[in-house]
Amino acid sequence: MLWLGLFVLLPTLLLILTSFSRRDDMGRVIYSLTLDNYARCLDATWLSIFGSSILYALVATLICVLVGYPAAYTIGRASPKNRRILLTLVMVPFWTSFLIRTYAWISILSQEGLANSLLLSAHIIPTPIGMMYTPFAIVLGLVYNYLPFMILPIYTSVEKLDNSLIEAAYDLGAGPLRAFSSVIIPLTRPGIAAGALLVFVPAIAMYAITTLMGGGSNPTIGEVIQNQFTRARNQPFGAALGVLLMLLFLVSFLLLGRKKSAPHAA
Amino acid sequence: MKSIRHLILALLPWALAACGPKPASTAGSPAVPTSDEEKKLNLYCWSEYIPQSVIDDFSKETGIKVSVENFSSNEEMVTKLLAGGGKYDLIQPSEYTVEALIRENQLLPINPAALGNLANISSEFRNMPYDAGNKFSIPYMAGFVGICVNTDKVKEPVKGFADVFTPAHKGRIVVLDDAREITSWAFAANKLGINDVTPENLEKVKPTLKKWLPLVKVYDSDSPKTSLKNGDVDLGVVWSGEAALLYRDDKKFAFVLPSEGSHLFVDSLAIPKMAAHPQNAHLFMNYILRPEVSRKISEAFPYYNPNSAARALLSNEEIANPASYPPAQDITRMQTFRDLGKQSAAIDELITQIKAGGK
Amino acid sequence: MTEALAVGRKNFLRLPDGPTLVKWFCGSWTTMVFAFLYLPIFLLVLFSFNESKSGFDWQGFTFKWYEELFQNRILLRAFTNSLLIGTISTLLATGLGTLGAWMLYRYRFPLHRMMEAFIFVPMIMPEILMGVSLLVLFVNLSLPLSYLTVIIAHVTFTFPFVLVGMQARLQGMDPSLEEAAMDLGATPHQAFFKVILPYLTPAIASGALLAFSLSLDDYIVTVFVTGAESQTLPLKVYGMVRVGLNPQLNALSALGIVLTILLVFASERLKQSNSGE
């Protein structure tokens, strides 16, 4: 808890301070109190960028859930030995640098890349399709990068599923679809929720992947904030955007929490 | 506090040396000069801009251990430098950053007596507007921004921005992801001085930018040659060094300086005020100025070498690379970026707005 | 009825036989997911043997990039730095995440809700904000930038991930587990270590894996808080990639992957021989 206080609280406070400040010609922060930065945030440009970033994150999260759930389910229900191996195998690609992985995808998706060559030689398409630098590429990049973040939490929920509950469902005549929708998925809901959170939240502020895969023509809020700290030399504005982002999230989290209010022990 | 003491200790021998006879090493002789500082140098430079072999050779010769830290943008470097986190002896700012740092008194003046090889710098780089007389910085590598064309895909001649940003090339263009750069091209195309960044001028170039940006497929300052090489784009406005690398591998990549006008950038070496080993920094600078060393740098990074002695050592093929040394270019005619201060935010906002498809 | 149950119990570790469809579906889906995950990796490894420096033109099989890699002291140093920092920060983050999740779950204290929300701050804060504010913090605390600062930074932004995963696991826990342990005479302390912790093991494992990957791969935060000696791999990779893809990087990744897979199988072998599964 001390850790939390020191290394999370303090930088956050600093950030909030900065967001109220001005900056000088060099881009250094002059600590002061002004609402100018927040006023700028409400400009339509930034709001629409906020919106598109949230949209990308949402789509990526959804796809991650759909793609990741069956995989997590299979791993969670495998034998204990296989479970550990499979789990680690899921993570192994992520111990290579994400830059190298993303460049590998660029070489797959680019005009003269692997995918196009295969499709062309199989005569499925007449001319190469531009897959890179499109929203498709961005979502693919996001999904690829965040899939393990979805699989891992779902796995932990699945792993402790009580087999007898599932058996009971089948015994009572439920088909697989029913068993899933009425028994299995509700039981693994904490895992899905955790996974969704772990994907959605960081994905909004993600900038490296969206810039590399998207080519920069669809700026995301992460890119904008990054720019403020680098090229635009406007740290306070970047700070303000960041604080807004966090507030947005905190508010929705608190609201959702109130609705959920799951009873805990003691 | 410690660093100030070091600074004084470091400067004392110089004060004495300035009075005494000049050291034996002049104009690139291999005699190893010594410094009285501990044998360390904290170098803060662009990633992959100083060949490791150059650094290693320097260490071997002088016994000075070089710690290298990299940055990927001028602003990142300035942020970290000014925040006081890193204690750097030598930094590698671009020209407009040099100007800003000089203005803010963040740089140590260079001692010309310690730089015997200073004469190797080409005359056009001696009196640049951002640092006249090389008082605070020496040029490391210069370059321009120009148009690189994949001549296999683009058959018509491309002479300037007007030829690049046409509907025929929609979605096949790559440009640098640098709001300032992009705006300067629009300024050039509208016959405005590239450093005349005022709100009125920004409004004037807005229509041009609005016409150009929707045609762009990729924004990339780090490695624009990637998309050109992969065939995802056919032409673009990129750093000359990137175009030179492409040309080296495949002559189909032609390079041309835009007819509307181009500007020069100069990446330099400078010593921060709080440097703990300024003498060693001077040694390194002098080492870089040696023709054979500078030539090695040119080999790896085919930008415009400001060292005339080094240029004399380059092979014919290297000189013939149109992206490294464009024909008939009068460097003195080209402008360089001046520091824009607060206006950089306005530029960034403008470009982001247009990118996001705004009004 | 009992027959079905018996069959079910025999197939305990597989889906009940009735919906074999589900089993096949899940199995093939998972295979496809793995194919998706490993496609770039496979290409990566392939190109590490490619004579040509760039992408696709295959110019012959060679080991030369591996040779160059082993002579590249800087890159290797960065690699070991990353491993070191990764391991330490993972250990710390996992510990913090587990303790934090348990405390939030088990105890009620003022500002509980606030605390929960605050955990997410490092997750949602854009990395550059975190990097710069931590830098300013460290400078104000007169902490020199080095391994320590990098580790602190890494733990700060990875432990929320561990914590969230832990919370998910805890939510599905039977609350009477702890009670039962205490009824049998354990102190809360013992109950935690002997009952709760083992239950949490899968979450701990997956949290640790996540934290390690995050630490290994982090670029922006590290850039601002690192000193010159603690340069990590992503920093160097980013720089190298800017000039053009260097197959040395492919070679490094390939080696890393092979090493990990070997480690995993080795530890499995060890576990088997130890506990006689």
State the Cα–Cα distance between residues B321 and B142, nearest whole angstrom: 15
pLDDT digits (tens, 9 = 90+) for C200-254: 787 788 788 888 888 888 888 888 888 777 888 888 887 777 666 678 888 888 8
Closest partner residue to A219 (CB to CB) among B171, B226, B355 is B355
| Chains in touch with C (≥3 Cβ pairs < 8 A) | A, B
**DSSP 8-state code for residue B332:** G
- Start-to-end CA distance of chain C, whole Å, equals 31
Residue A184 pLDDT class (50, 70, 90 cuts): confident
Contact criterion met (CB < 8 Å) for C74 and B229 = no
pLDDT at B286 over 50: yes
Greater model confidence, C181 or C14: C181
| Chains in touch with B (≥3 Cβ pairs < 8 A) | A, C
**What is the DSSP secondary-structure string of B70-99?**
EESSHHHHHHHHHHT-S--SEE--BHHHHH
pLDDT at A38 over 90: no
**DSSP 8-state code for residue B254:** E
Work out whether strand B235-239 and strand B173-175 pair parallel, antiparallel, or are unpaired.
Answer: parallel
Greater model confidence, A70 or C134: A70
pLDDT at A262 over 70: no
For residues B40 and B64, is the Cβ–Cβ distance under 8 A? yes
Mean pLDDT lowest for which of A137-141, B283-287, C89-93, C158-162?
A: C158-162
Cβ-Cβ pairs closer than 8 A, A with B, add up to 110
pLDDT at A15 over 50: yes
Mean pLDDT over B100-107 rounds to 87
Greater model confidence, A13 or A2: A13
| Chains in touch with A (≥3 Cβ pairs < 8 A) | B, C
Contact criterion met (CB < 8 Å) for A78 and C13 = yes
What separation in angstroms does the CA of C236 have from each of A97, A112, B48, C222, C228? Answer: 10, 28, 9, 11, 12
Contact criterion met (CB < 8 Å) for B69 and C227 = yes
Mean pLDDT lowest for which of B172-186, B201-215, C96-110?
A: C96-110
Which residues touch A196 (CB under 8 Å, ≥6 apart)? A61, A64, A65, A150
Whole-number pLDDT of residue C177: 75
In 3D space, the residue among C155, B306, C13, C135 whose CA is nearest the CA of residue A163 turns out to be: C13
Residue C159 pLDDT class (50, 70, 90 cuts): confident
Mean pLDDT over A173-185 rounds to 75
C168 neighbourhood in chain A, CB within 8 Å:
153, 156-157, 190-191, 193-194
In 3D space, the residue among B209, B347, B187, B80 whose CA is nearest the CA of residue A228 turns out to be: B347
Q: Which residue of C has its CA nearest to B244?
A: C243
Mean pLDDT lowest for which of A68-82, B227-241, C92-106?
A: C92-106
The residue whose two tokens read 């060679």 is C62
A97 neighbourhood in chain B, CB within 8 Å:
none
pLDDT digits (tens, 9 = 90+) for B336-354: 888 887 787 788 888 888 8
Residues of chain C contacting B, Cβ within 8 Å:
54-55, 74, 132, 135-136, 138-139, 145, 223-229, 231, 235-236, 238-244
Whole-number pLDDT of residue B16: 39
pLDDT at B19 over 60: no
CA torsion B309-B312-B317-B323 (nearest 10°) is: 50
State the Cα–Cα distance between residues B179 and B157, nearest whole angstrom: 27
Contact criterion met (CB < 8 Å) for B85 and C242 = no
Contact criterion met (CB < 8 Å) for A101 and C8 = no
State the Cα–Cα distance between residues C124 and A203, nearest whole angstrom: 9
What separation in angstroms does the CA of C199 have from each of A179, B263, C192, C240, C252? Answer: 25, 65, 10, 44, 37
Residue A16 pLDDT class (50, 70, 90 cuts): low
Token pair for residue B221? 């300052």
What separation in angstroms does the CA of A97 have from each of A45, A104, B220, C64? Answer: 33, 11, 20, 21
Contact criterion met (CB < 8 Å) for C229 and B80 = no
In 3D space, the residue among B127, B248, A166, B267 whose CA is nearest the CA of residue C11 turns out to be: A166
pLDDT at B220 over 80: yes
The type of residue at B359 is: K
Interface membership of C35 toward A (CB under 8 Å): no
Whole-number pLDDT of residue B1: 40
A64/chain B closest Cα distance in angstroms: 26
Mean pLDDT over C53-59 rounds to 65
pLDDT at C165 over 80: no
Closest partner residue to A26 (CB to CB) among B100, B218, B230 is B100
Contact criterion met (CB < 8 Å) for B180 and A231 = yes
The CB density around residue A162, as the number of other CB atoms within 10 Å, is 12
State the Cα–Cα distance between residues C44 and A104, nearest whole angstrom: 7
Contact criterion met (CB < 8 Å) for A110 and B73 = no
Whole-number pLDDT of residue A26: 53
pLDDT digits (tens, 9 = 90+) for A44-83: 778 888 888 888 989 999 999 999 988 888 888 888 778 8
Mean pLDDT over C269-276 rounds to 62
C210/chain B closest Cα distance in angstroms: 27
Interface membership of C126 toward A (CB under 8 Å): yes
The type of residue at B307 is: N
Closest partner residue to B348 (CB to CB) among A28, A133, A231 is A231
Distance of CA B202 to the CA centre of its chain: 25
For testing contact with chain C, the best of B66, B76, B232 (most C CBs within 10 A):
B76
The CB density around residue B254, as the number of other CB atoms within 10 Å, is 19
Whole-number pLDDT of residue A5: 52
Contact criterion met (CB < 8 Å) for A98 and C217 = yes
Whole-number pLDDT of residue B284: 92
Mean pLDDT over B126-143 rounds to 88
**What is the DSSP secondary-structure string of chain C?**
-HHHHHHHHHTTTS--STTHHHHHHHHHHHHHHHHHHHHHHHHHHHHTTBSSSSSS----B--HHHHHHHH-HHHHHHHHHHHHHHHHHHHHHHHHHHHHHHHHHH---TTHHHHHHHHTHHHHS-HHHHHHHHHHHHHHTTPPSSHHHHHHHHHHHHHHHHHHHHHHHHHTS-THHHHHHHHTT--HHHHIIIIIHHHHHHHHHHHHHHHHHHHHH--HHHHHH--STT--HHHHHHHHHHH---HHHHHHHHHHHHHHHHHHHHHHHHHHHHHT-
For testing contact with chain A, the best of B73, B182, B212, B344 (most A CBs within 10 A):
B344
* Rounded percentage of chain B residues whose pLDDT exceeds 70: 87
Greater model confidence, A198 or A138: A138
Q: Which residue of B has its CA nearest to C57?
A: B230
Greater model confidence, B155 or C191: B155
> H or E stretch including B268?
strand B263-270
C227 neighbourhood in chain B, CB within 8 Å:
69, 86
Residue B12 pLDDT class (50, 70, 90 cuts): very low
In 3D space, the residue among C149, C151, C154 whose CA is nearest the CA of residue C225 turns out to be: C149
> H or E stretch including B229?
helix B225-229
Contact criterion met (CB < 8 Å) for C33 and A68 = yes
State the Cα–Cα distance between residues A117 and A125, nearest whole angstrom: 10
B179 neighbourhood in chain A, CB within 8 Å:
227, 231-232
Mean pLDDT over B203-210 rounds to 90
In 3D space, the residue among C258, C251, C259, C242 whose CA is nearest the CA of residue C50 turns out to be: C251
Greater model confidence, A39 or B30: A39
Contact criterion met (CB < 8 Å) for C243 and B230 = no
Interface membership of B78 toward A (CB under 8 Å): yes
Burial tier of A163 (Cβ tally within 10 Å: 0-12, 13-18, 19+): middle
State the Cα–Cα distance between residues B195 and B339, nearest whole angstrom: 8
Mean pLDDT over B25-35 rounds to 48
Greater model confidence, A211 or B61: B61
Residue A259 pLDDT class (50, 70, 90 cuts): very low
